[in-house]
Each structure stands twice: as C-alpha cells, then as structure tokens.
Amino acid sequence: MQALLEKLTQIPGPSGAEHLVRSAVQQEIEGFADAMYTDALGNLLARKGRRTDGGLRVMVAAHLDEIGVIVTHVDENGFVRFAPLGGVSPRYAPGGRVRFLNGVGGVIGLERTEDRTSAPPLEKMFIDVGAGKRSDCPVAVGDVAVFERPFEQLGGRWISKAMDDRVGVALLIEALKRLGDTPHEVYFVFSAQEEVGVRGATTAAFGVEPDLGLAVDVTMTGDTPKGVTMEVALGKGPAVKVKDRGMIADPRVVRWMTRTAERSGIPYQREILEYGSTDGRAIQLSRAGTPTGVLSIPCRYVHSPSEMVDAGDVKQALDLLLALLSAPIELGD
C-alpha cells in the first residue's frame, strides 16, 4: 500500500484534469476487472463479479482529483493570477510551491497588506514562475497546477499532498485486486471532479444505478492541539460516517458497516463531520435515491499540501472494505 500510495499522490490530477491519475489506475487494475471503461465525464469504472441470488449491484467510489489552481490572468510583469479548483485554503497557500501540468513550477506570493495577522484572500496572491514579462510567461489562462510536496513516512504515519483522495483510490485498487468470491456485482468507480461539486459521482451513479452505494474518502480529525471538536483520531481505525454537511448516511448502511467491523474484529470510529461532504452525497441522491454510506480514512491537515494518514488505519480500512463486499448484505428496516 505504501508504494502504491506514494506513486498515486505524486501524480498531478486537479479537478477536470484527472487523466494522468486515471491512466495510472488503469495500469494497476488491468486484468483484475471483468469490465472497465471511461465515461464522458472522465470517471473510470471497473466492474467485478456478477449478482447471484440475494446479491446486489454495489457502487464503491473514490475520487481521482485533488485541489489545485487555474490561471485566470497574466500581468505585464509575468506574474500569474489564479482561482482555486476546490477548497484551497488561503492559510496554506502563501509560499507554497505549485507544479503545472506542462511541467512549469512556481511559488505563491502575496501582495503587501497592512494586516499581517491573517492570511489575505486568494485574490491578493499570485504565482511567480520566474518570468520577467508577460511574453516570457510559460503558462497561459486556463492552465492548471497542483501543490508540490513529496511523500514521506513519519513514524507510522504517511504524509503527502493529495492524500485526499488518493488514499481512497489506493484502497479501491487493492480491494478490486484482492476481492475473491462475492455475491455482488461491484462497480469500482474512480470519480472525476469531486472537489468542485461531486460531479463525476453524480453522472456515474446515474449510469450504474446501484442498489447500494459506498464512498471511500478522507475525513478530518479532532486529535491535534485546539483542533476541531470531533471524535475521530489517527490510529484508532477507519471511520464510519453518520453525517456530514452534505448527507445523513442511511442508518441501515451504518449498522451494516459497524456490525461487519465488530464481527471481523476491526476497530472503527463513528464520524460526524460538520464541514464538507463526499461522493456519497451524489450516490445517495441519484435517480430515486440509493442507500448509501461512507468509509472514511482519518486525515490530519485536510486540503493542505501536507495531509497525514495513519498506516494502520489504511490497512484496517482495506480489511473492512473487503469484509463488506465479500458477504451477503442484509440491511433490514
């Protein structure tokens, strides 16, 4: 998992430009899926298994894209103005290095402000790509970039840009490879444009028309000094989402997930996230509605260039995902 995750996090894939990550995933799962295709929005869908008596069509989704920036203007001196692709925080941006898909690097600078106590909005920032004038600038309006940070192991934790949601993508790849006999028809969906409005999962869920949906994504933690107030912490196992800003997980799915974890001896946490949502929202609202839950990987410093996960949590999330997909699913009432 570590080698795969390092490979995936270092590939640039901002929203709307996920093709390099998608190609890497295709190479990883070639030969393990019964069918595989890319749809019109750029989602990669891989089907494994056929429904037997009592089996379901299950959609499991993790998003390919990461937060990034897009060029909106280049001034006469070659400085680049930009807009966010997804939830780019002004707190993390100043001094950050970015890498455009054409290979050009840059550093984010600030306009001078009177207030030195808080980060200015992104509109007061620019990217310096080393150009002296507009005609020398190696990027143009519409070019996109991602933050540049290497993958590192810190004790039992892994840190990198784009853990959100390459850790989910890695889990789906490994689950697809390792899933043996299953009564279900499972669609592993590597979705596009989650960070800008769960767009890929919206179209994918409409096409798959699943009986049950499961998103795999990161969630925030409440275990840092004076951090957000929530129960989730690194090193205590994967989290089963109960609610976030965009969805209330189906209580039947929550019970199925927690009971499976308990029967399998897998530690888990219950998650209520007051900020943000996942592909689970799109699956839940597809067509006439789909029972949907979310398997969350605790992650510190979400939407920063240095997101941290615990190696044990990742392994246990894979164990739980395989347990969920391998056995008959009884949701009850």
Per the CB < 8 A criterion, the answer to whether 280 and 294 are in contact is yes
Residue 260 gets which letter from DSSP?
H
209 is catalytic: no
- DSSP-based three-state secondary structure for 29: helix
Q: Of the residues 194, 195, 271, 307, which is catalytic?
A: 194
Bridge pairing between strands 292-298 and 212-219:
parallel
Distances (CA, A) of 153 to 225, 235, 318: 21, 15, 19
Residue 36 — φ and ψ, nearest 5°? -150, 135
> Which uninterrupted H or E stretch holds 170?
helix 163-178
Give the span between the Cα atoms of 105 and 142, in whole angstroms.
16
Would you call 158 helix, strand, or coil by DSSP?
A: strand
Strand, helix or coil at 164?
helix
What are the catalytic residues? 194
